Amino acid sequence: MKNRKFLVLFALILSLGFILAACGNSDDESSKDSGGSSDGDKKSGDYKVGMVTDVGGVDDKSFNQSAWEGLQAWGKEHDFEKGKQFDYIQSNEDADYMPNVTRLVRQDYNLIFGIGYKLNDGINKSAEQYPDTNFAIVDSVVDQPNVASITFKEHQGSFLVGVAAAKKTKTNKIGFVGGTDSELINKFESGYIAGAKSVNPDIKIDVQYAGAFDAPDDGKLIAANMYNNGVDVIYHSSGATGNGVFAQAKDIKQNDPEREIWVIGVDRDQYDEGQIGDYNITLTSMVKRVDIAVQDVSNKAMNGEFPGGKVLEYGLKDDAVAYAKTNKEALTDEIVKAIEKWKEKIVSGELEVPKTREETKAYVDAL
C-alpha cells in the first residue's frame, strides 16, 4: 500500500516537472518571438559615447565645437539623449584631461573621445588602465589595441587656402597665427606657406604663434600687429585664440569700411564669425570634418566594428578636408578655379604637399 502511494506521488511530481519545463520553454520561445533584448539591442540602447574637450572649450567655434556637433549628430541619428547616451566634459586646464577621461570611464561610457593631441597622455594611460573601454584620440596617435587614432591631412587643405590668400592679397603680405608651436599646427603652417608660394614665390608671410588655444586677447594683439604692418589676409589655426583674430579684423573694418581685410577660418566654416553689418571678412575656411569622423567612429564602435589599434587618416580625397566657398563675393570664380586646379594635382598624387618646415623649405627652394 505504501509502495503504491509512493509510486502515485512520484508520478505526480514527474508530471509536474514536465509541465513546468514545457512552460519554461514556452516562455523562452515567447521571449524570442516578441523581440526580447539581443546583443544588438543592448548595443544600440545602452551604448554610451562621451568626449573630453581640450582647453579651447566646446564652444570654441572651431575644433572642439566641430567634434561636439558630430557627437550630437550621432545622438540625433539614433534618437539618443544628452546626458544618457552621449555627453561631453570641458577641460579648463591641462591638468583636467586625465581626471575628465577617468570620470567618463567610471560613468560606464563605452567609447571616450579625447579631442586634440594634448589629451594623448590621458588617453594612453586610461587605455592601459581600462582595457575593456574603447577610446579615440583626435589629431594624435596612441598605440593601444583599444584606441582608434583619428588624423587628418590638414596640410592639404591649408595649401588650398594658401592659394586663396595669395590670389586675394593686394599688399603681397599675408599672415599665419598658430596656437601652440607643435608638429600638428606646423602642418597647417607648412601647407599654407607652400600654397601661397606656389602662386607667388615672392609673397611675404608673417608667421606667429600665440602659445595657446584659449587666448583670444593674444590672438587679437598678434592680428593687430600684423594688420598694422600691411598684412591683409590672416589664416589662423589657433582654436579659441582665433576669435581674437576675427575680433580685430572686424574692429578695423568697422573703423575703416573701405579697407580690404580678411581672415581665413579653420576646422569649421567660420563664415558667421566674419559677419559685420552687410560685409563679411571671412575669405574662406580650411574645413576639417572632425564632426564626420566622430560620428563615423561612434557608429562603427556601436555596431561592433570599432577600429581599435588603427590610425585613420582623412584627407581631400575623402572630402574630410576642404575649403569653404560660402563667401561667394570675396572668393571669386577666378580664385576658385585656381584652387581647384591645385586640388586636382593633390588628389591625383601629382603634388605631394609638404607638412613640416624642412619639407616646405625644400619645396619653396625648388619653385
Out of 299, 323, 345, a domain closes at 299
Interval 88-101: pLDDT, tens: 999 999 999 999 99
What residue numbers bound the domain in which 238 lies? Answer: 154-287+332-365
Q: Do 120 and 218 share a domain, yes or no?
A: no
pLDDT at 58 over 70: yes
In a domain, 167, yes or no: yes
Q: Which residues pair with 214 in a beta bridge?
A: none
The predicted structure's pLDDT at residue 315 = 92
pLDDT computed for residue 177 by the predictor: 98
Looking at residue 32, its pLDDT comes to 34
Smallest CA-to-CA distance from 176 within 289, 265, 83 is with 265
**32-36, 188-192, 267-271, 358-362: which range is least confident on average?**
32-36
Q: Identify the domain boundary among 253, 277, 299.
A: 299
Residue 331 to residue 123: CA distance in whole angstroms: 40
Q: Is 125 exposed, middle or buried (0-12, 13-18, 19+ CB in 10 A)?
A: middle
Please check whether residues 354 and 229 belong to one and the same domain: yes
* 123 and 171 belong to one structural domain: no
Q: For residue 233, give the CATH number of its domain.
A: 3.40.50.2300
For residues 218 and 361, state if they share a domain: yes
Distance, CA of 184 to CA of 355 (rounded, Å): 9
* 176 shares a domain with 164: yes
Looking at the fold, whether 275 and 355 belong to one and the same domain comes out as yes
Residue 123 pLDDT grade (very low, low, confident, very high; cuts 50, 70, 90): very high
Q: What percent of the chain has pLDDT over 90?
A: 83
Which has more pLDDT, 91 or 21? 91
pLDDT band at 31 (very low <50, low <70, confident <90, very high): very low
In a domain, 309, yes or no: no
Pick the closest to residue 315 from 196, 160, 157, 204 (CA basis).
Answer: 157
Residue 11 lies in a domain: no
Q: How far is CA 61 from CA 66, 68, 105, 246, in A?
A: 8, 11, 27, 11
Residue 273 has pLDDT above 70, yes or no: yes
pTM summary value: 0.79
Residues 227 and 353 in one domain: yes
Q: If you search the block for the grid coordinates 584652387, which residue do you land on?
A: 339
- Same-domain status, 240 and 351: yes
120 plus 190 within the same structural domain: no
pLDDT in tens, 43-52: 556 899 999 9
Q: Per-residue pLDDT for 132 more than 70? A: yes
Q: Which residues contact 177 (CB under 8 A, 6 or more apart)?
A: 208, 209, 210, 219, 222, 223, 226, 234, 235, 236, 237, 238, 241, 242, 245
Q: What is the mean pLDDT of residues 15-37?
A: 38
Statement to judge: residues 147 and 176 lie in one domain: no
Please tell me the predicted confidence (pLDDT) of residue 187: 97
Same-domain check for residues 199 and 219: yes
- Interval 280-314: pLDDT, tens: 999 999 999 999 999 999 999 999 999 999 999 99
Cα–Cα dist 56/212, whole Å: 9
Residue scoring higher pLDDT (351 or 30): 351
Q: Give the C-alpha separation, 345 to 195, whole Å.
A: 12
User: Residue 322: is its pLDDT beyond 80?
Assistant: yes
Cα atoms found within 13 Å of the Cα of residue 42, Cβ hemisphere only = 6
Based on the domain organization, do 144 and 177 belong to the same domain? no
List, for residues 179-196, the tens digit of each pLDDT value: 999 999 999 999 999 999
Model confidence at 22: pLDDT above 60: no
Would you say 136 and 117 are in contact if contact means Cβ atoms under 8 Å apart? no
- What is the pLDDT, as a whole number, of residue 25? 42
Q: In total, how many domains does the chain have? A: 2
Least confident of 28-32, 69-73, 259-263: 28-32
Q: Cα–Cα–Cα angle for 135, 214, 316, nearest 5°?
A: 55
Domain boundary among 242, 277, 299: 299
Residue 339 predicted with pLDDT over 80 = yes
Other Cβ atoms closer than 10 A to 9: 10
Per-residue pLDDT of 214-252, as tens digits, reads: 999 999 999 999 999 999 999 999 999 999 999 999 999
Kindly tell me if the per-residue pLDDT of 10 is higher than 80: no
Mean pLDDT of the chain: 89
